[in-house]
Structure 1
C-alpha cells in the first residue's frame, strides 16, 4: 500500500538526517521510497526552503505538481487572504483526494515554523518496525499520515 507520511523536527537539519536514515532503510529493502520532500526553515529566514526527490523519473513531473500543490497550500496560499478562498477550497479537495485532509494540512502548517524542518515521504511496501530502527535517536513528531488506523498506531508506537 502506498502511504504519505510527514514528520516534523525541532531543528532545520533534522529532516535531512531522517531522509538519510530513510534512504538507508530503502537501500536495505525495508521500504520503497516513491518520492520525498524536505522542508527546511532556518531561523531568521522569511520562508522555508523546499527540495524534493525524483525517485520515479517517469512520473517526476506529476510528483513535482503534487509537492507544489501541497507546499503551496501549506506555506504560500494562506498569505493570499480571503480573496483566494475558493481556490484554497479546491486545493484542499485535491489533496483530500490523495488522502491528505484539511486537518492534517493545518497540523503540518502549525508544526513547520522558523527553526524547524519537515520530511514528507510517499512510500510503498514498508516494514515499519525495521524502518523505525533507522530513525532511532532522531527527535521527531509524526504529524500526518494516510495509513489505516492500525498502521498509524504501529507507526506512532515505533516513533513515539
Structure 2
C-alpha cells in the first residue's frame, strides 16, 4: 500500500530531523520511501524554504514535478481571499486522482505556517504506526492519506518517469 503523508512540526527544524529519522526507519526496513520533501518556515520569513529529496532516482523528475506543483501552489502562489479557494480547487483537481483531496490541501495550508515545518512523503510497504512512534519527540502531527492500488498507479503514471 502506498501512502501520501504530511507530518507537521511545531518548529522550523522538526521536519528535517524527522526526515533523517524516516531515512533511518527505511534503512531498518520499517518503510520504503518513494520520495519526500521538507518544508521549513522560520518565524519572520514571508515564505518557507523547500527541499525535495528525489529518493528514487528513476522517478525523480516526475515526482519533482509533483512536489513543485503541490508545494508551489500551497506556499508560493500569492493567494488572497477568493483566489485562495480557486488555487486550492485547481490543485485539488490535479491531486484527487491520487487520493489528496481539497480538504487535506486546505488543512496543510492552514497548519503549516511561519514557525513550523512539514515533512511530505510518498511511502509504501510501511508500518506508519511504528514510524510515527519515532516522531513523538518531535512534537509532530500526522495528516495521512492512504492510497489505494488504483491511486498508487495513477500517482506513478501521472508523476512517474
Q: Report the equivalent of 2:116.
A: 116
In 1, distance between residues paired with 2:59 and 2:21? 24
Q: Report the equivalent of 1:65.
A: 65
TM-fit CA distance, 1:91: 2.3
Q: Report the equivalent of 1:106.
A: 106
TM-fit CA distance, 1:137: 1.7
Point out where structure 1 has 5 or more consecutive residues left out of the alignment.
Answer: 149-160
Point out where structure 2 has 5 or more consecutive residues left out of the alignment.
Answer: 149-161
Q: Report the equivalent of 1:55.
A: 55
Displacement over 4 Å in runs of 4+: 80-88
TM-fit CA distance, 1:95: 0.9
TM-fit CA distance, 1:97: 1.2
Contact kept in structure 2, 1:108 and 1:144, CA below 8 Å: no
In 2, distance between residues paired with 1:129 and 1:80? 37
Contact kept in structure 2, 1:100 and 1:146, CA below 8 Å: no
TM-score, normalised via structure 2 length: 0.82
Residue 75 of structure 2 corresponds to residue 75 of structure 1: yes
Paired residues in the alignment total 148
TM-fit CA distance, 1:17: 1.0
In 1, distance between residues paired with 2:104 and 2:15? 18
In 2, distance between residues paired with 1:86 and 1:138? 33
